[in-house]
Structure 1
Protein backbone atom coordinates (compact mmCIF):
# COMPACT_ATOMS: atom_id res chain seq x y z
CA UNK A 1 0.00 0.00 0.00
CA UNK A 2 2.79 2.41 0.86
CA UNK A 3 4.25 1.85 -2.61
CA UNK A 4 0.90 2.78 -4.17
CA UNK A 5 0.79 5.94 -2.09
CA UNK A 6 4.37 6.75 -3.16
CA UNK A 7 3.39 6.18 -6.80
CA UNK A 8 0.43 8.55 -6.47
CA UNK A 9 2.67 11.27 -4.98
CA UNK A 10 5.24 10.68 -7.73
CA UNK A 11 2.59 11.15 -10.41
CA UNK A 12 1.30 14.35 -8.76
CA UNK A 13 4.88 15.66 -8.57
CA UNK A 14 5.61 14.71 -12.18
CA UNK A 15 2.48 16.58 -13.30
CA UNK A 16 3.69 19.54 -11.21
CA UNK A 17 0.49 19.59 -9.18
CA UNK A 18 0.79 22.02 -6.28
CA UNK A 19 -2.40 21.40 -4.27
CA UNK A 20 -3.33 17.93 -3.07
CA UNK A 21 -6.34 16.52 -1.31
CA UNK A 22 -5.43 13.15 0.16
CA UNK A 23 -7.42 10.71 2.23
CA UNK A 24 -7.23 7.79 4.61
CA UNK A 25 -6.20 5.55 1.73
CA UNK A 26 -8.28 2.38 1.89
CA UNK A 27 -9.32 2.71 5.54
CA UNK A 28 -13.00 2.41 4.80
CA UNK A 29 -14.37 -0.61 3.02
CA UNK A 30 -10.87 -2.07 2.42
CA UNK A 31 -10.15 -1.93 6.16
CA UNK A 32 -6.55 -0.74 6.04
CA UNK A 33 -5.23 0.12 9.48
CA UNK A 34 -5.63 3.92 9.94
CA UNK A 35 -2.55 4.05 12.19
CA UNK A 36 -0.39 2.48 9.48
CA UNK A 37 -1.85 4.65 6.71
CA UNK A 38 -1.28 7.85 8.71
CA UNK A 39 2.28 6.72 9.43
CA UNK A 40 2.91 5.97 5.76
CA UNK A 41 1.64 9.43 4.73
CA UNK A 42 3.94 10.93 7.34
CA UNK A 43 6.93 8.93 6.12
CA UNK A 44 6.31 9.81 2.48
CA UNK A 45 5.55 13.49 3.00
CA UNK A 46 8.19 14.23 5.62
CA UNK A 47 10.92 11.60 5.68
CA UNK A 48 10.99 10.98 1.91
CA UNK A 49 10.52 14.68 1.11
CA UNK A 50 7.37 14.56 -1.00
CA UNK A 51 5.76 17.22 1.19
CA UNK A 52 8.22 19.87 0.01
CA UNK A 53 7.09 19.40 -3.60
CA UNK A 54 3.59 20.76 -3.02
CA UNK A 55 2.25 24.14 -1.90
CA UNK A 56 -0.61 22.74 0.13
CA UNK A 57 -1.75 19.30 1.20
CA UNK A 58 -5.08 18.62 2.87
CA UNK A 59 -6.71 15.45 4.09
CA UNK A 60 -10.39 14.83 3.43
CA UNK A 61 -11.53 11.92 5.55
CA UNK A 62 -15.02 10.58 6.06
CA UNK A 63 -14.87 8.64 9.30
CA UNK A 64 -18.24 7.49 10.56
CA UNK A 65 -16.85 5.08 13.12
CA UNK A 66 -17.59 5.84 16.77
CA UNK A 67 -13.90 5.71 17.63
CA UNK A 68 -12.95 8.01 14.72
CA UNK A 69 -9.78 5.97 14.20
CA UNK A 70 -8.83 7.61 10.91
CA UNK A 71 -9.12 11.11 12.40
CA UNK A 72 -7.29 10.14 15.57
CA UNK A 73 -4.31 8.67 13.75
CA UNK A 74 -4.05 11.38 11.10
CA UNK A 75 -4.20 13.94 13.90
CA UNK A 76 -1.19 12.23 15.47
CA UNK A 77 0.95 13.27 12.50
CA UNK A 78 -0.87 16.19 10.90
CA UNK A 79 -3.04 19.09 11.97
CA UNK A 80 -6.55 18.01 11.00
CA UNK A 81 -9.60 20.22 10.83
CA UNK A 82 -12.80 18.26 10.92
CA UNK A 83 -16.34 19.31 10.34
CA UNK A 84 -19.51 17.32 10.39
CA UNK A 85 -21.29 17.32 7.07
CA UNK A 86 -24.82 18.71 7.21
CA UNK A 87 -27.46 16.20 6.61
Structure 2
Protein backbone atom coordinates (compact mmCIF):
# COMPACT_ATOMS: atom_id res chain seq x y z
CA UNK A 1 0.00 0.00 0.00
CA UNK A 2 1.58 3.28 -1.06
CA UNK A 3 0.84 6.54 0.72
CA UNK A 4 -1.71 8.80 -0.95
CA UNK A 5 -1.73 12.58 -1.30
CA UNK A 6 -3.89 13.44 1.78
CA UNK A 7 -1.55 11.54 4.11
CA UNK A 8 1.53 12.98 2.39
CA UNK A 9 0.18 16.49 3.06
CA UNK A 10 0.26 15.70 6.78
CA UNK A 11 3.78 14.28 6.54
CA UNK A 12 5.24 17.28 4.66
CA UNK A 13 4.66 19.62 7.62
CA UNK A 14 7.25 20.38 10.30
CA UNK A 15 6.51 19.24 13.87
CA UNK A 16 8.29 19.37 17.21
CA UNK A 17 11.77 17.81 16.98
CA UNK A 18 12.40 14.29 18.31
CA UNK A 19 8.82 13.50 19.30
CA UNK A 20 6.11 10.94 18.58
CA UNK A 21 3.03 12.61 17.11
CA UNK A 22 -0.39 10.93 17.16
CA UNK A 23 -3.23 11.96 14.86
CA UNK A 24 -6.52 10.62 13.62
CA UNK A 25 -6.98 10.42 9.84
CA UNK A 26 -10.42 9.26 8.78
CA UNK A 27 -10.82 5.75 10.18
CA UNK A 28 -7.07 5.30 10.69
CA UNK A 29 -4.78 6.24 13.55
CA UNK A 30 -1.42 7.77 12.59
CA UNK A 31 1.65 7.79 14.78
CA UNK A 32 4.94 9.17 13.48
CA UNK A 33 8.37 9.90 14.85
CA UNK A 34 10.20 13.11 13.93
CA UNK A 35 13.91 13.75 13.43
CA UNK A 36 15.99 16.52 15.01
CA UNK A 37 14.55 19.09 12.58
CA UNK A 38 10.92 18.07 13.09
CA UNK A 39 10.46 16.14 9.84
CA UNK A 40 8.47 12.89 10.10
CA UNK A 41 10.80 9.93 9.44
CA UNK A 42 8.88 6.85 10.64
CA UNK A 43 5.12 6.30 10.26
CA UNK A 44 2.73 3.78 11.76
CA UNK A 45 -0.69 3.66 10.04
CA UNK A 46 -3.60 1.52 11.22
CA UNK A 47 -5.82 1.10 14.26
CA UNK A 48 -4.65 1.72 17.82
CA UNK A 49 -5.12 -1.19 20.23
CA UNK A 50 -5.85 -1.00 23.96
CA UNK A 51 -2.12 -0.75 24.78
CA UNK A 52 -1.66 2.30 22.53
CA UNK A 53 0.22 0.41 19.79
CA UNK A 54 -0.71 0.77 16.12
CA UNK A 55 -1.75 -2.44 14.36
CA UNK A 56 -1.33 -1.92 10.63
CA UNK A 57 1.55 -0.83 8.40
CA UNK A 58 4.97 0.69 9.05
CA UNK A 59 6.71 3.15 6.72
CA UNK A 60 10.16 4.73 6.80
CA UNK A 61 11.20 7.91 5.03
CA UNK A 62 14.25 7.84 2.77
CA UNK A 63 15.56 11.39 2.99
CA UNK A 64 18.87 12.49 1.49
CA UNK A 65 20.07 16.09 1.74
CA UNK A 66 23.23 17.44 0.11
CA UNK A 67 25.85 19.69 1.72
CA UNK A 68 23.97 22.85 0.73
CA UNK A 69 20.73 21.69 2.39
CA UNK A 70 18.93 20.79 -0.84
CA UNK A 71 16.77 17.68 -0.84
CA UNK A 72 18.19 15.04 -3.19
CA UNK A 73 15.84 12.15 -2.40
CA UNK A 74 12.61 12.11 -0.40
CA UNK A 75 10.20 9.17 -0.49
CA UNK A 76 8.40 6.76 1.84
CA UNK A 77 9.12 3.01 1.84
CA UNK A 78 6.68 0.39 3.09
CA UNK A 79 8.57 -1.69 5.66
CA UNK A 80 5.89 -4.24 6.46
CA UNK A 81 3.34 -4.85 9.16
CA UNK A 82 3.33 -2.99 12.46
CA UNK A 83 2.25 -4.91 15.54
Same fold (TM over 0.5): no
Bigger strand share: 2
Shorter-chain TM band = under 0.3
So what's the TM-score if we normalise by structure 2?
0.28
Higher RCO, 1 vs 2 (CA within 8 Å, ≥6 residues apart): 1
